[in-house]
Chains A and B, each alone.
Chain A
């Protein structure tokens, strides 16, 4: 491929977990130089949630962290220390984009909010991703993944027919997953504007709004008709004659969508193994698909497309949701160890020398080990 779309763009990445860290990961995938900032006192929580052992260096082995942060460089700088804050303001001069999903106010209090950073770099595009957005009475509300299934409306349409609503749950946390798919595109739009006009932007994303946006037609219909009442609808869909998951003779589930009603479908599936039923339905032009699980997905290389890839250490990591010029993702570097590139980046961008780097390390501004206790 020729020069990548975001070649020459540098990202200062405060993104944590999925919503923030994945937005900057998608920018890295498009060629941006992403430098992720953590600190010994505050790791990306994915390092902790994904803890698989208690041996030395455990914070560098989390699968969830590895999945999301490949192709980034990693710095550890203490954001609570005025010296750490000063280093970050210096770095911001050399960056085009900031991505952050702290609770509102955290970076402002550290002197690292949009106001302070745009003062040193007016071209900066600052993407603030939060639960409820940067304004409004609920701006300080906390949420975690499936909280937003509930408050966005998605849960109200999910569940068995006539029963209580359902959420996607902690192994999916669906609203966290979709925000980066939208936010990345908006950041790119703002970067192209900043190149053209010299002016950056403050981009205020509410994850709850992104999730509600996926129900736009239902909100619109309710505004036109106050009687537009909805409830969990199982696997049915308005405008579709018949649709459900049916259990096959081998106990496996098959999802089927029919243009015309067929009362014999449950019995048809119950009388055959899933693979046999699937082939027969597809041959008749009926949309059918197996309800796969994680192991199935790992096995089916063709179905995976470009969504999974291995890094140079052989670890499985997140690939791409799309392909550019037909190709998938090259993993240029695995997810960084805590503080792995601190010295490299501070030399390269700020010209720090050995004495300065030693002083930062001795005073605890930089580090490669967590200062938090047992987790």
Chain B
């Protein structure tokens, strides 16, 4: 591995401020943005409350103690515990931020007002848009997926709406904050005044779910969860499940692949007819899947250019041939946890990956 000094962000210093009592979904977004910069070589100093970032105690937990969530989100950073309720803690913070290029913090933090005035460029993570004036409104990952219209899109129409798995509201905002941070660094680097950056989870979720608004504006009808009426559905196979996905132009190849005479019925030849007869269509598709493995299905489908998606669990992804071949998963030697395998940044830069270094211990 190349020296840290040759990493692309090695010239930059970033302070990530964890104030006490900030909603967890905001903390995760801030931490993800700073982690990406740290893995790219920025010197990231994470300020934690004396009892530590609450994410240190958040699931999924590791069997030897510690949190997988914390270990993932805080790679390649340094840490310093400061009590921001005390004057001395705030003074130390101010001097650290003075020397940094960027400071990341959350809107409800007690120190937010002073950090917005810092010499370092402020990157602020909030729950809601400025226009809502709702800095103190209670918030959660689920609340953001609801408010952003994403839950309305997932599940059966007659049953409750569902969230997408994982911390998608937090992480989409974290990716956004990273890009905002890079825009600020690029401006500083070019000798311009850098713009302050504000990212709200609710805005990011709506932006990601833009087809809900564009669909409603175009047709007057809100797109919504279609479940068993959807063109794309999940079918069981011999060793799991497969997502049935194909575009209009891929339908003839899909029909040939499945090879069931029932699919030759003219009512299935156009998209409108397939939608009108969706239950019958899936009844004709299902038997082909039932006696095959995910691997057999993927091979046969890809051979015809059909994008069916076998469903893998996180544990199975550890064994995925494609991820092994690309070195997407890094083995990270951890002082107390042994070797941990985790995803690296999802980019290869001139063929190079960015190996993460273990998250810091809590130190005063």
**Can you list 6 contacts pairing A with B, beta carbon distance less than 8 Å?**
A146-B309, A167-B232, A178-B171, A209-B343, A217-B60, A239-B58
Chain A, 188-214, contact with B by CB distance < 8 Å: what is the 0/1 string? 111111011000011111101110111
B152, B167, B178: the one within 8 Å of A214 (CB): B167
Count of A-B contacts with CB under 8 A? 491
Interface residues of B in 182-228 (CB under 8 A from A): 182-187, 189-190, 192-200, 202-204, 206-218, 220, 222-226
**Would A222 and B213 count as touching, CB distance under 8 A?**
no
Q: Which of A5, A213, A294, A323 contacts B186 (CB 8 A)?
A: A5
Closest Cβ neighbor of A283 among chain B residues: B138
Residues of chain B with a CB closer than 8 A to A183's CB: 347
Q: Is B230 an interface residue (CB 8 A)?
A: yes
Interface pair B182/A287, CB less than 8 Å apart: no
B234 within 8 A of A: yes
Contact of A255 among B40, B142, B217 (CB under 8 A): B142
Q: What 8 pairs between A and B have smallest CB-CB spacing? A: A157-B165, A305-B129, A150-B309, A294-B216, A185-B179, A255-B146, A223-B341, A257-B140
- Tell me whether A144 and B159 are in contact in the complex, defined as CB-CB below 8 angstroms, given that A164-B234, A192-B186, A237-B142 are known contacts: no
Question: Is B164 interfacial (CB-CB < 8 Å)?
Answer: yes
A59 CB-CB contact with B under 8 Å:
no
Q: Which of A130-138, A341-349, A353-361, A363-371 contacts B (4 or more CB under 8 A)?
A: A130-138
Interface residue tally for chain B (C-beta within 8 Å): 147
Is the beta-carbon distance between A237 and B349 smaller than 8 angstroms? no
Given contacts A296-B149, A298-B216, contact A221 B8 (CB under 8 A): no
Q: Which residues of chain A have C-beta atoms less than 8 A from B287's C-beta?
A: none
Question: Across the interface, which residues of B come within 8 angstroms of A267, CB to CB?
Answer: none
Assess whether A312 is interfacial by the CB under 8 Å rule: no
Instruction: Give Cα A218–Cα B166 distance, bound, in whole angstroms.
Output: 9
Would A171 and B165 count as touching, CB distance under 8 A? no
Tier of interface size on chain A? 35 or more
Is B323 part of the contact surface with A, judged by Cβ < 8 Å?
Answer: yes
| Among B23, B147, B148, B243, contact of A149 (Cβ-Cβ < 8 Å) | B243
Determine if A287 and B140 form an interchain contact, defined as CB atoms under 8 angstroms apart: yes
A190-B8, A292-B152, A321-B176 as given contacts; A156 in contact with B350, CB under 8 Å: no
Nearest-CB residue, chain A, relative to B144 = A289
Chain B 228-243 per-residue mask, 1 if CB under 8 angstroms from chain A, else 0? 0011101010000111
Q: Are A156 and B195 in contact (CB under 8 A)?
A: no
CB atoms of B210 and A307 under 8 A apart = yes
Assuming the A-B contacts A168-B164, A169-B153, A172-B153, are A316 and B326 also in contact, with contact meaning beta carbons closer than 8 angstroms in the complex? no
User: Among the listed A5, A147, A202, which residue makes an inter-chain contact with B350, where contact means beta carbons less than 8 Å apart?
Assistant: A202
